[in-house]
Structure 1
Amino acid sequence: MRAVVYRGREKLDITDVPEPPVGHGEVRLRVGVNGICGSDLHEYFAGPIFIPDGRPHPLTGRELPLTLGHEFSGTVVEVGPGVDGVTEGDRVAVMPLYSCGACPACTAGRPNVCAQIGFHGLMADGGMAETTVVPQHMLHLLPDEVSLEMGALVEPMSVAYHAARLGEVGPGSTAVVFGAGPIGIGLWFALRGTGVADVYVVEPSGPRRAAIERLGARTLDPGAVDVPAAVADLTHGRGADAAYDAAGVRAAVETATASVGNGRPTVSVAIYETPIETPLINLVMNESRIQGSLCYTAEDYAAVIALMARGHYDTTGWVERIAMTDVVAEGFEALRAGRRMKVLVDPAIA
């Protein structure tokens, strides 16, 4: 089968690899589409970062080289022994987490922050291939109303939904999202889906502002307005009830922490490729805080799929499909250059 195999920084092969066997408790999926994630970009241009190099991952036993892809949907084509409630032909989204089940986080019911966390597609061969084999526990059945394309977006939208919940906002709240990339867009959808009407998206890029405005969002251009002052005006001096950093740059963190109200959180859901210095004066003077957000839970997946089934998410103008053979030029390089916003790799495109 064809697969996108990662061998190190800026080293990808689109090549034929053997199909792995289906073991106990596992299923084989024919991959529908697989999204290129921001973490994939970091691995390609600056890695290996999370992908094991020279030391096998403790839960999967895998290291370089391996097939990328952790944002994907598919159709079950083979069911292994010990699998119940799943049949060939089922359409699924995949929650690609490996967790140990024994560390303090896991035993406290928080496997998304497992001490040995792993990801299908970063610590095991993933979904940027014609087929992939996954444990049954990763599967989330898709209702008829949710397409395989939308199913591949469940993973990044669940990242955003989890972060949105950590901001502790709801009807009547005001939220500010920094960054209008896929996770920023997902935050806007998630916040709106949980009843937050007043959501403002801060984005310096004109094309990105235009893309999310077409979806119905209200935006602020940090090059044209003083964002903390604008937020203060919009909230009658109260400040935002939550801010979200989906940009991963110092300016966003500083502005976000200056925009929230007393005691309120700035939720960090970005990947920081390099360390950033963040002055703490805003947090001290405001008794506010920075809250980290990692991954998602099964409950987040279920909530996102339910919203998708109701038609809440719209991919118009920000999601594009490409062939596997175009993954470098039209995927990684185009995303890095800002020519595309969200790219789904479709193994069926020749």
Structure 2
Amino acid sequence: MRAVVYHGRGDLRVTDVAEPQVGAGQVTLQVGYNGICGSDLHEYFAGPIFIPDGAPHPLTGRELPLTLGHEFSGTVVEVGSGVTSVAEGDRVAVEPLYTCGQCDRCGSGRYNACSSIGFHGLMHDGGMAEYTVVPATMLHKLPDSVSLEMGALVEPMAVAFHAAKLGQVRGGDTAVVFGAGPIGIGLWHALKGTGVESVFVVEPSPTRRAAIEKLGATTLDPTSVDVPESVKDATGGKGADAAYDAAGVQAAIDTAVATVGAGKPLVSVAIYEKPLEVTLLSLVLAESRIQGSLCYTGDDYRAVIELMSRGHYDTTGWMEKIAMADVVQEGFDALHAGHKMKVLVDPSLG
């Protein structure tokens, strides 16, 4: 079968690999679509970062080279022994986490922050292929009203939904999202879907601002307006009830710290290739804080799929599909250059 195999920084190959064999407790999926994640871009242009290099991952036993892809949907084509939760023909989204189930984090219910966490597609051969084998416990059935294209977006939208919850905002509050890439768009959808009407999206790129404005978002251009002052004006001087960093750059962090209100959180959901500085005195003087957000839980997946079933998520203007053969030029390179926002790889196109 054809697959997109990562061999190291700048070395991504579309090649033939052996079709994986299903085992007990597992299922084989014919992959519908696989999204290229920001984490995949970091691996290709600056990695290996999370992909094991030189020592196998403790839970999966795998290291590079391996097939990428952790944002994917598919159709069950084979069921291993002992699997009763799904059947052949079921359409599913995949929650691609490998966890130990033994560490304190897993024991307290925070399995998304497992001390040995692994990802299908980063620490194990993933879904950027024609077929992949996953544990049945990773699967979430898709209702008839949710397409396989949308199913491949459940993973990044669940990342955003989990972060949105950690901000602890509710109807009547004001939230500010920094960055209008896929996670920023997901945050806007999640906040709106949970009843937060006052949401500002801060984005310097005219293209990205235009894309999210077409969805109905209110944007702020940090190159032309004073974002903290604009938010204070909109909130009677108190500042945002929560800010979310989905940009991962120093300017966004600096502005977000100045935007969030006293005692309120800045939720960090970006991947940082380089260390960033934070003016801690600003946090101390306002008793505000930075809250990390990692991955998602099954509850987040179920919430996103339910919102999708009601048509809440709109992909107009920011998502497109490509063939596997075009994954480097039309996928990784185009995304890195800012020419595209979200790309789904369609294995059926070769």
TM-score normalised to the size of structure 2? 0.99
Which residue of the partner structure matches residue 173 of structure 2?
A: 173
Tell me the distance in 1 between the aligned counterparts of 2:20 and 2:30: 13
Which residue of the partner structure matches residue 145 of structure 1?
A: 145
Q: CA deviation at 1:349?
A: 1.3
Q: Secondary structure at the match of 2:3?
A: strand
Tell me the distance in 2 between the aligned counterparts of 1:219 and 1:157: 20
Which residue of the partner structure matches residue 62 of structure 2?
A: 62
- Which amino acid letter does the alignment assign opposite residue 319 of structure 1? M
Trace 1:209-220 onto structure 2 (pairs within 5 A).
Answer: 209-220=209-220
Which residue of the partner structure matches residue 44 of structure 1?
A: 44
TM-score normalised to the size of structure 1? 0.99
Q: Does 1:106 align with 2:106?
A: yes
Trace 1:284-303 onto structure 2 (pairs within 5 A).
Answer: 284-303=284-303
Trace 1:1-350 onto structure 2 (pairs within 5 A).
Answer: 1-350=1-350
CA contact (8 A) 2:174 2:196 kept: yes
Give aligned pairs, total.
Answer: 350
CA contact (8 A) 2:243 2:267 kept: yes
Residue segments in structure 1 that go unaligned for 5+ positions in a row: none
- Which amino acid letter does the alignment assign opposite residue 52 of structure 2? P
Q: Secondary structure at the match of 2:322?
A: strand
Q: CA deviation at 1:345?
A: 0.3
- Which amino acid letter does the alignment assign opposite residue 281 of structure 1? L
What are the superposed Cα offsets for residues 1-23 of structure 1, whole Å, 9 maximum, x if unpaired? 00000000000110000011101
Which stretches of structure 1, 4 residues or more, deviate above 4 A after TM superposition?
none
CA contact (8 A) 2:72 2:94 kept: yes
What are the superposed Cα offsets for residues 180-199 of structure 1, whole Å, 9 maximum, x if unpaired? 00000000000000000000
Tell me the distance in 2 between the aligned counterparts of 1:71 and 1:279: 34
- Which amino acid letter does the alignment assign opposite residue 109 of structure 1? G
Tell me the distance in 2 between the aligned counterparts of 1:177 and 1:250: 15
Q: CA deviation at 1:277?
A: 1.3
Q: Secondary structure at the match of 1:256?
A: helix
Tell me the distance in 2 between the aligned counterparts of 1:84 and 1:201: 43
Identity among equivalent positions (%) equals 74
Q: CA deviation at 1:85?
A: 2.3
CA contact (8 A) 2:20 2:131 kept: no
- Which amino acid letter does the alignment assign opposite residue 4 of structure 1? V
CA contact (8 A) 2:85 2:136 kept: no
Q: Secondary structure at the match of 1:258?
A: helix
- Which amino acid letter does the alignment assign opposite residue 290 of structure 1? I
Tell me the distance in 1 between the aligned counterparts of 2:207 and 2:303: 30
Q: Secondary structure at the match of 1:19?
A: coil
- Which amino acid letter does the alignment assign opposite residue 112 of structure 2? N
Q: CA deviation at 1:274?
A: 0.9
